[in-house]
Chains A and B, each alone.
Chain A
């Protein structure tokens, strides 16, 4: 039965690949990229099994550009067709930057407003002395063309740049679900770079419906060419992140706090060390987490690399240790081999397996003419399945504008 399922899936995949390749030779070459992913799993129902993604961006005039990413796929033994629009945006801009308008499907995230994908409009007006006014409104996106129930969102933000070293902003957002007010927040945000080596940023969102701090984050970083040190802190109130129309918003408010630091050190021209540690006060008790990463470039350009990460999470109800290794090696003629292995050991397996290994091995090829082909095998043992092996093939063609740099390589100017 499993082989029959795979055969049917293979047929669907072959059709998807053939149709994608066939449609990838237009007469006029716009900067569009067509990508085909083919996923075959040995167990379970993949999501989806075959996938065609079309993305593109073009500036019709200096003051107008459009961007889109749509995908369609098939999954299951049927197979069942599915798809969605990830982005479909028209962007108008006054040539000198005094005003901007964005309309269509886009991601809204500004000031203390948490990211939300929106079908709507977003207007920005700026002044040369650093003042900015933003206004937005629209309908929160429902996945897979789902039905709406009178949900909408409106808000705005005003900001002022101070002496070109700091920006101070204030935001407001209101969201309705089924016509009822589900979220109303005011927020403050500040960012400053008083020196080339110092970056400061913070924001806080205050819940107006159920008065209290919903979310606050702050970060301060200093850096030199070889070092970077960052202090960060956050407070998150899960009950206030939910819509006020949700039954789960009435359980009370138990915020969690985190304070920590991250250090980056370029120990040698090709060796970078990155470490982070944080203390956490969650409702279940005190805890912490930390990790250390080491990345070694195999050449001066960084086309090949090796990496090691060790991680420990020690928060009540979430205690585990993990180690991860990556490797990428350019093989010449556009070929590249990469591999990633992870092992996670939970402190309390509770019948979910004493360790959860995961590994991926991939071979990719990129041509100067715009073709990209990659194939990978993924194997894992998870609490869900004792053993699982998946295969994935990715085929991509840029209808114009072939990649200017090889994977892992940096463009030569900054």
Chain B
């Protein structure tokens, strides 16, 4: 089979475009600092980053001065400061963030690795590094921190994790369908979650009647496919609730439904009742057994009298208890039994 040159060109362009779009061919950083070239030439890191040998936990970044660069590069191609162009802003920004948020004493570490900075900063050997900072797994390669882990004592290294805002990448990864999964993951480690996440982050979804304050409800600049209540959730929420009976109640209380339904005039007695025609004739009993939490959402509290009107003992609605129902409550004195069974002697 002979491929025409035109088709070969089209195919090549398409493949190149795909490779670029999918990231198979990494986009070259605009002006990366050539760490790799310096490493391959055998230049010791401290020849440029001399200050690092005396750097404490706090202080400015130990970037080389212009004079240090020109010590070797005697005839630069340009008179502008080297660091104006050489070095990606985001790499420097990350380094500044790390300097502010991580407690690392370089002199102590340099002694332990005999001056071999690359043992921690392995990314400097990459052609296009996205960062020159070590991964946390690299730290754990030497520091076990078992006791600190047990005591949730992250402050030895991290200044303020919630302020730092780094998503974990090599441990505790928030991966897959994490919105659904986070509950079971957090059950045994709530305080571990709290080492990064603030109260208001949890409460903004799980809090009572807090919908207007949800910082992520309308994350206008940060659209996402994840999230339980995103996009047109309002339109499909009855379907979502029916699709997983009881799920809403794991976060919302009974008042959550009635608040909104009353405001939107979608409540019993209005012409916009959410129930289909003929609801009261029998279907409501079936649906109530499937998901009683949905009924309680609007008819809980004082609304229970609507049920009592028909289902109280001797009433036309008959016995509402499911098959095999039993209770240890006193039917004449305890709630909710006494609502239908009446107060006894």
Contact = CB atoms under 8 A, between A and B. Distances in A.
Q: Classify chain A: how many residues form its interface, as a range.
A: 35 or more
Nearest to A297: B23
A164 B149 contact: yes
B216 to A, nearest CB: 12
A276 B221 contact: no
A79 interface: no
Contact of A130 (B134, B150, B190, B220): B150
Contacts of A89: 199
A346 B239 contact: yes
A268 B24 contact: yes
Contacts of A87: 198-200, 203, 207
B170 A96 contact: no
A321 to B, nearest CB: 11
B188 interface: yes
Contacts of B322: 251-254
B209 A143 contact: yes
A356 B237 CA distance: 12
B66 interface: no
B317 interface: no
A201 interface: yes
Interface string B156-199: 00001011111111110101110011011111111100000011
B220 A219 contact: no
A252 B181 contact: no
B220 A344 contact: no
A262 B176 contact: yes
Interface string A219-262: 10101000010101000111101101111111111101010001
Nearest to B256: A143
B13 to A, nearest CB: 18
A253 to B, nearest CB: 7
* Size bracket of the B interface: 35 or more
A8 interface: no
Contacts of B93: 404-405, 412
A71 B212 contact: yes
Main secondary structure of the interface of A (DSSP, over half): strand
Which of A126, A228, A244, A248 has the most CB atoms of chain B within a 10 A radius of its CB? Answer: A248
B87 to A, nearest CB: 12
B288 interface: yes
B264 A44 contact: yes
Given A86-B210, A218-B184, A411 B304 contact: no
Contacts of B232: 342, 344, 356-358, 380, 382
B65 interface: no
Contact of B188 (A48, A189, A230): A189
Interface string A266-291: 01111100101000101110010100
A117 to B, nearest CB: 5
B181 A232 contact: yes
Nearest to B91: A412
Most B CB contacts (10 A, CB to CB) among A57, A169, A241, A307 go to A241
A167 B152 CA distance: 14
A101 interface: no
A38 B203 CA distance: 22
B283 to A, nearest CB: 10
Contacts of B254: 242, 246
A413 B290 contact: no
A98 B151 contact: yes
Interface string A169-196: 1000000001010000000011100001
B250 interface: yes
Given A126-B152, A270-B21, A110 B190 contact: yes
Nearest to B133: A413
B229 interface: no
B173 A411 contact: no
A276 B177 contact: yes
A374 interface: yes
Given A97-B148, A313-B240, A342-B232, 6 more contacts: A143-B208, A189-B187, A221-B175, A248-B299, A296-B22, A356-B235
8 contacts: A87-B198, A251-B289, A289-B243, A344-B235, A356-B235, A360-B220, A408-B222, A411-B164
The 7 closest A-B pairs by CB, nearest first: A252-B322, A412-B94, A143-B209, A358-B232, A364-B221, A97-B151, A269-B23
